[in-house]
């Protein structure tokens, strides 16, 4: 029973693969991939990134490593401790540490240059993102137009199959006429044969009556 079931399932799968609808779907998919092959590349990149993220295990440090033990630290000035903690904190936008109060004008100029460089880098990133967005829009528009063409072709094909062909109907008129004539002739023959049979019966009855009379 199990072998029969497996054979049946394999036959059904093979039938689905070789069916006309499946072949049509494969042709449509190949047509779309030929027009916009970049989308498949993007999908492959995303899958690779997901797989690489799964492989990397994040090591979360414990609270004891993040937070220093105040009791084990040497006795230092409270203000120095607060300053050191403030210097460790980075700006969430620029990623730079805050400047010291005793910073010189040269330090301020250098910091301004660093911020300007970061701004230029961010502008370049934004420009690349805009270009990539435009490219993706074009791809999506191409894909949408191709989908619409395919849908229209399929709709026309369905309509052609659904609508009756007038030429075929005209061709069928001739055999239908012949068929009607044949039926009429058959009816006429049946009437004639019935009349002939009635005459035969009458003659038989006459002969039978004559014989009886002769015998008497």
Q: What is the pLDDT of residue 76?
A: 45
Q: Give backbone dihedrals phi and psi of 99, rounded to 5 degrees, phi first.
A: -80, 150
59-63: list long-range contacts, CB under 8 Å, 24+ apart. none
pLDDT in tens, 122-135: 889 999 999 999 99
Burial class, 35, CB count within 10 angstroms (exposed 0-12 / middle 13-18 / buried 19+): middle
> What pLDDT digit, counting tens, does each position of 60-104 carry?
444 444 444 445 444 445 555 455 555 455 666 666 666 666 667
Q: List CB contacts of 35: < 8 A, sequence separation 6 or more.
A: 142, 143, 146
pTM above 0.85, yes or no: no
Q: What is the pLDDT of residue 165?
A: 63
Query: What b/e sequence results for 145-156 when a residue is b if at least 16 CB atoms lie within 10 Å of its CB, and e otherwise?
Result: ebeeeeeeeeee
Q: What is the mean pLDDT of the chain?
A: 72
């Amino acid at each position: 029973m199990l072998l029969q079931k497996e054979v049946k399932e394999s036959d059904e799968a093979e039938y689905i693969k070789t069916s006309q609808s499946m072949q049509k779907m494969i042709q449509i998919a190949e047509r779309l991939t030929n027009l916009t092959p970049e989308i498949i590349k993007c999908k492959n990149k995303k899958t690779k990134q997901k797989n690489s993220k799964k492989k990397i295990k994040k090591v979360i440090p414990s609270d004891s490593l993040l937070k220093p033990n105040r009791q084990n630290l040497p006795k230092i000035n409270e203000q120095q401790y607060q300053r050191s903690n403030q210097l460790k904190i980075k700006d969430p936008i620029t990623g730079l540490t805050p400047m010291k109060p005793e910073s010189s004008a040269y330090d301020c100029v250098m910091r301004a240059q660093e911020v300007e460089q970061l701004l230029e880098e961010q502008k370049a990133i934004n420009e690349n993102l805009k270009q990539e967005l435009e490219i993706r829009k074009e791809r999506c528009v191409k894909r949408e137009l191709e989908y619409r063409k395919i849908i229209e072709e399929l709709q026309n094909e369905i309509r052609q199959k659904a609508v009756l062909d007038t030429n075929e109907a005209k061709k069928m008129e001739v055999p239908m006429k012949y068929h009607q004539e044949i039926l009429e002739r058959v009816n006429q023959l049946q009437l004639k044969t019935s009349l002939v049979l009635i005459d035969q019966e009458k003659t038989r009855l006459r002969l039978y009556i004559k014989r009886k009379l002769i015998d008497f």
